[in-house]
Amino acid sequence: MAPLRSLSNPSSSFSDPFAKTSTRAGEPWFPYTGIIGNRAIVAGGMYNTSVAPSPYRADVIEFFDITTTGNASDFGDLPNATMRMGGCQAAHRGVFMGASGPLTPDNTITYLTVAIPGDAQDFGDLNEGRSAGGAASNSTRGVLGGGSAPSPIGESTAMDYITIATTGNGTDFGNLTSPRYGVAACASTLGRGVWAGGYEDPGPGGKNIMDYVTIATTGNASDFGDLAEGVQRMAGCSPGIYGYFMGGDNTPAVNPFNNTQIQKITIATTGNASTTGNLTFRRASSTGMANSSRGICAAGDAVSWPYNNDGYLNQIEYFSSEGGGSSDFGDLTIRAKDRAGLSGE
């Protein structure tokens, strides 16, 4: 951060956040990271098909304040009912990339203004339709990696990026080290993105792979290290320094047994993940978000007690940015899995 502009420092930009002539004058005076914030957004998802009418997908967007505890409130609606999007944010704008439509994975990108409740709008299109990819961002750019694409591609290694402040279509970024869907992602405030876990047919179970990229550049991902065990359909988040991957399915898809693990990495240094605590629910297909002091895990499906009466969760839980076990936060407005989450201001 440049010093405050003055007669003795004429080189500081008038757009410096500490300058009262700044285009951001009136905002809190702190370095803006663009990828974490106190408002959590949760969107879309899949209802339990045994208790909900077809097409089982939700267009619901809801929000809550990470600094407190309590239940979520209505924010608005997506343009279409959908699930398995990747969510990230920067410059006060939240973006959802990819989706699972009624028939095939689609290439939809939508956006909203995090601070202003309302409906999401069309942003542009990905290079190919994908669902269940992982999204991460720095202060200007969002990247979607992996996912399930229409046949004959299947599980994908593709990575697309967008400039979040301007609408438009995705651009090729590079490739993950292996094809997979149900992959979780997080990013540090310094702009390194990490993609973890996932599934590639025929399995038999989740992968323990972690890949990373520098979001400000383009190119193929590199090996980061290994998860504590192979897991698919985790939730991912980062309070800024550490990355967390939560829950997920850690056994073959034919016999899912969701776990409670919270796995931790230091994003700036490569290496293997370690288990730092546990969620209160065994859950997969959840979504994650964070502010600078808390990580959040919300929604998902549960296959063992305790769980809600239709097996899909509206429960939100939180844990410290330093790691550790989670505590109850409150409830979402609907019970669903495969929801997208992001946090910002």
pLDDT digits (tens, 9 = 90+) for 232-282: 999 999 999 999 999 999 877 555 568 899 999 999 999 999 999 999 988
- Backbone torsions φ then ψ of 268, nearest 5 degrees: -70, -20
Residue 335 has pLDDT above 80, yes or no: yes
Distance between CA atoms of residues 58 and 340, nearest Å = 11
Q: Is the torsion defined by CA of 334, 338, 339, 344 positive or negative?
A: positive
Query: Out of 66-75, 236-245, 251-260, 287-296, which region has the weakest mean confidence (pLDDT)?
Result: 251-260
Distance between CA atoms of residues 278 and 262, nearest Å = 5
Residue 308 has pLDDT above 90, yes or no: no
pLDDT digits (tens, 9 = 90+) for 250-263: 877 555 568 899 99
Q: How many helices (DSSP H) and strands (DSSP E) are in the chain?
A: 0, 26
Greatest CA separation found in the chain? 70
Superfamily of domain 39-344: Kelch-type beta propeller (2.120.10.80)
3-state helix, strand, coil in the chain (%, to 5): 0, 45, 55
Distance between CA atoms of residues 101 and 56, nearest Å = 11
- Backbone torsions φ then ψ of 128, nearest 5 degrees: -145, 155
Cβ proximity of 318 and 295 under 8 Å: yes
Rounded alpha-carbon distances, angstroms, from residue 200 to 179, 207, 228, 312: 7, 8, 18, 24
Which residues are CB-neighbours of 255 under 8 A, at least 6 positions away? none
Distance between CA atoms of residues 340 and 185, nearest Å = 12
| 33 — pLDDT class (breaks 50, 70, 90) | very low
Residue 302: the pLDDT is 82
Tokens found for residue 223: 């090996």
Cβ proximity of 95 and 123 under 8 Å: yes
Residue 228: the pLDDT is 92
> What's the alpha-carbon Rg for the chain, to the nearest Å?
19
Of 288, 190, 203, 215, whose CA–CA distance to 245 is shortest?
288
Distance between CA atoms of residues 198 and 212, nearest Å = 14
Residue 52: the pLDDT is 75
pLDDT digits (tens, 9 = 90+) for 161-186: 999 999 999 999 999 999 999 999 99
- Backbone torsions φ then ψ of 109, nearest 5 degrees: -125, 130
Whole-prediction pTM = 0.88
- Backbone torsions φ then ψ of 264, nearest 5 degrees: -125, 140
Tokens found for residue 68: 């407190």
